[in-house]
Amino acid sequence: MMKTRSFLKCSLAALALAATSLAPVQAQVPPNYKAEYKMSLVVGTAFPWGKGGEIWAKLVKERTQGRINIKLYPGVALVQGDQTREFTAIRQGVIDMAIGSTINWSPQIKELNLFSMPFLMPDYKAIDALTQGEVGKRLFQIVDKAGALPLAWGENGYRELTNSKHPVKSPADLKGLKIRIVGSPLFIDTFTALGANPTQMSWADAQPAFASGAVDGQENPMSIFTAAKLQNVGQKYVTMWGYVADPLIFVVNKDVWASWTPEDQAIVRQAAIDAGKEEVAIARKGLAEADKPLLKEIAALGVTITELTPTEREAFVKATRPVYDKWKTQIGADLVNAAEKAIAASR
Ligand code: X2X
């Protein structure tokens, strides 16, 4: 009898101990938190863009002690690879958070076309003058109003021209080339003005189209070129023309954001800023240095790299000027004027 009782006592004590040791762990995660938050990206961790996602998720997990767990969904898998539908899916909550290109969200947010204005941003300083200045703040207000909470800037990069046919040094060299472009009508206008034959398609569809020769060329940052090994799908000619660059924006769905404690909101925001800084440095590696070592690596793969003289480049600027003027009105002359001013001040 005594034995049973003391056994019971011991077991109860053990149970109580187990319960108290479990309790603090459970209390750490607010009950309304999801077990996993879905982060959408166009490309995976072999690319600077995907690395940015990996860094953001890791920082958030560490700094929240695992309260917020983020899983990466590259290939815009949550919207079946259709990157032009990504922003809508974030707003609707199909996607919890994302690092998205300004190009892919410009069908929903016309002001994001700003970065796709041909030859607006001459160098990295110009990009920074926009994203890190007043224009960046205004754009974040616009993204917020459009329905997702923007936290930080990242970068895909300067989009250079590649093709499978021949070196391109002038708009005449583009004549009749079938060029894959992304999902904004601005790109149709730009490539039509240059005499090319633009065709709009998702990144997922583009790669087989290069391999089969269904399209001749495309435009993307060199970090995308190398990570996707575009030289192996016939893209043997690169023209460094730096006509546009697409920044990335780190965002969170608004209901998800509201569900987090102020402490965790601050952690997620700071982690996005830190990851964004790191991601921009990774995206510029090999290209921001004066001798551009990445280009030597690419040339060593048997790729012909054409660097334009100022006069050669000017011919592309001139041919696309009517597109610039048309889109200045569409985007909003006020915003474009502010961008031109900020860039001029950064010179
Ligand atoms: O589709 C593209 O070209 C890419 C990967 O650069 C974007 O998502 C904008």
Name the DSSP class of 16: H
DSSP 108-166: T-GGGGGGGSTT---SHHHHHHHHTSHHHHHHHHHHHHHTEEEEEEEEEEE-EEEESS-
Nearest 10 degrees: Cα torsion 311, 313, 315, 321: -130
pLDDT by 10s per residue, the chain, length 347: 445 555 555 555 555 555 555 544 545 899 999 999 999 999 999 999 999 999 999 999 999 999 999 999 999 999 999 999 999 999 999 999 999 999 999 999 999 999 999 999 999 999 999 999 999 999 999 999 999 999 999 999 999 999 999 999 999 999 999 999 998 999 999 999 999 999 999 999 999 999 999 999 999 999 999 999 999 999 999 999 999 999 999 999 999 999 999 999 999 999 999 999 999 999 999 999 999 999 999 999 999 999 999 999 999 999 999 999 999 999 999 999 999 999 999 99
For ligand 1, pick from 42, 180, 187 the residue to mutate: most ligand atoms within 8 Å of CB.
Answer: 42
* Any ligand 1 atom below 6 A from CB of 40: no
Residue 178: strand, helix, or coil? strand
Kindly state the tokens that stand for 109. 């947010």
> What would you measure as the largest C-alpha separation in the chain, in angstroms?
101
Residue 342's pLDDT is what?
98
* Any ligand 1 atom below 6 A from CB of 103: yes
The CATH superfamily assigned to 37-346 is Bacterial extracellular solute-binding protein, family 7 (3.40.190.170)
Reported as a single tens digit per residue, the pLDDT across 326-345 is 999 999 999 999 999 999 99
* Any ligand 1 atom below 6 A from CB of 346: no
Name the DSSP class of 74: -
* Residue ranges covered by each domain of the chain: 37-346
Residue 246: strand, helix, or coil? strand
CA 148 – CA 87 distance, rounded (Å): 8
Helix axes 333-346, 124-131, angle to 10 degrees: 130
- Give backbone dihedrals phi and psi of 172, rounded to 5 degrees, phi first: -60, -30
| Sign of the alpha-carbon torsion through 51, 57, 60, 64 | negative
Q: How far is the CA of 7 from the centre of ligand 1 (A)?
A: 67
What Rg value do the Cα atoms of the chain yield, rounded? 24
Reported as a single tens digit per residue, the pLDDT across 185-224 is 999 999 999 999 999 999 999 999 999 999 999 999 999 9
Of the candidates 152, 29, 157, the one whose C-alpha atom is nearest the C-alpha of residue 98 is 152
